[in-house]
Chains A and B, each alone.
Chain A
Amino acid sequence: MPTKEMICISCPMGCMLSVDYDETGVLKVTGNQCKRGEIYASKEVINPRRVVTSIVPVIGGVEDMVSVKTATDIPKDLMKDCILALKNIKVQAPVEIGQVILENVCGTNVCVIATKRVEKKL
């Protein structure tokens, strides 16, 4: 039964996890100090996922750029593709926090949403 050592990235504590797993999935996680560690380890061994953040240009806003993020984590392998998919996107001001910027990014069924409010330039 393989064991993997990893550092939990769920919060700044950075717990050192020891994860026992086989082809059926994660069997045992030790070293975590909370439930998030278990969830992270299960995902990280089978299908590592990350939240991706970037910016997109705003047309007619008080600021030139608005920050965005994937609404949930997406497969780690798709991080760069996600950034590329945002390259051709521009949004019209005003932009609200949580506004959908791009649906179903890279076929993940996850939306990219705005994380900042940008008002219209008067």
Chain B
Amino acid sequence: MINKDIVIIGGGPAGLAAAIGAYEAGNKDIVILERDNQLGGILNQCIHPGFGLHTFKEELTGPEYASRYVKKINDLGIESKLETMVIDIAPNLIVSAINETEGVIQYQAKAVILAMGCRERPRGALNIPGTRPAGIYSAGTAQRYVNIEGFMPGKSVVILGSGDIGLIMARRLTLEGANVKTVVEIMPYSGGLKRNIVQCLDDFNIPLKLSHTVTKIHGKTRVTGVTIARVDDDKKPIPGTEEFIECDTLLLSVGLIPENELSRKVGVKINPRTQGPIVTESLETSIKGIFAAGNVLHVHDLVDYVSGEAYLAGKNSVKYIDGLLNENHMINIVTQDGVRYSVPSSINPKNAEDLSLIRFRSTDVYKDAYVSVFLDQERIIHSKKKIITPGEMEQVTILKKWLQDRPINSIFIKIEKE
């Protein structure tokens, strides 16, 4: 058994920033456990630009963004173990991991930071009828093939789902010579960022078919085409609207799910809306000493936000170890009227930063609506937004002093028409 103050599970953007946050808060007894053969996580395959505008004030590619953090980890001398898979976290914070050279390793931690990221929703979760031919990939798998391993998954492509990875891959495959025929989205709006619709689809005249889905996959050994159809308000295919599209590849970009097998096993409470742990303002889960940040907590649009959140989790893990996290006076955050979830789920004014960010997503598209925050009955934020969509994460800032003036039971976040 190795004693280690802080064990970080995952060496992607969240794990790296958490380690730096903990180190800069004064605790250097840290290890990062990463199952891949390099640090940086999914950023390594995100070779497109668009990362780091908030953090570094310049537009970096994924590998460049990761390398800034990896360099800092190396400069600070923070320990990381690669090709090491965590298999268990015990409630008393014993973390068990395995790798090829050392076999089973066990750490007795004082704090654990969950930074495992997320996974793509697979075909099996979609129930698309049809055969089981080759040529069906999740968008992220295709991204790995094209950008890391250097080969193309197919020549003519239909993409189901308009999440950002699907949009990015539409452009990437087109530039590499594939014919991306269409992107099909079951919702009446795209799940991706507006800028990606413009620069990945519009730039290449790739049609985006909203309120459409794939109803059948054709082909015996290899995909030969898909049938798509328009859907009604209940997302049921409308008979008579079917259309056959010939293709050899179907990419699925149909959502990301936080990867919480380890969290569930140790008994961390999971929010059914986010599929990630329920956390406090300090990013602490329902189990004392276990923190979570990044896409394991809720799926983010921007890595910059992941880094900021994870840095805070690292810092707070040190506060926890030093006995400085106050455990009383929780104010619940209640989401209603068009707000699907919030992270965090509660704020303790004693632990809160001077400015606390509450991040949330809407349930639907709202135009010219207001994001409102109530401290019990009193409306304290009422800010107008041209557009609020589930595809783009929103945030509000709560000032610590608002919470200290008087006792508050609940903070309500809602979307109001006026």
A interface residues with partner B (beta carbon < 8 Å): 6-12, 14, 16, 50-55, 57, 63-65, 67-69, 76, 79-80, 83, 97, 115-117
Contact = CB atoms under 8 A, between A and B. Distances in A.
B198 interface: yes
Interface residues of B, number: 32
Q: Which of A53, A63, A117 is most buried by chain B, counting CB atoms within 10 A of its CB?
A: A53
B203 interface: yes
B195 A7 contact: yes
Contact of A52 (B63, B150, B175): B175
A79 B63 CA distance: 21
A12 B49 CA distance: 12
Given A97-B64, A115-B61, A116-B67, A65 B147 contact: yes
B47 interface: yes
B149 interface: yes
B241 to A, nearest CB: 28
Contacts of A68: 47
A55 B147 contact: yes
Interface string B124-168: 000000000000000000000011111000000000000000000
Contacts of A50: 199, 203
B295 to A, nearest CB: 16
Contacts of A51: 49, 59
Contacts of B408: none
B350 interface: no
A32 B149 CA distance: 39
Nearest to A48: B203
Contacts of B197: 7
Contact of B67 (A10, A12, A16, A117): A117
Q: Which of B67, B195, B386 is most buried by chain A, counting CB atoms within 10 A of its CB?
A: B195
B274 interface: no
Contacts of B351: none
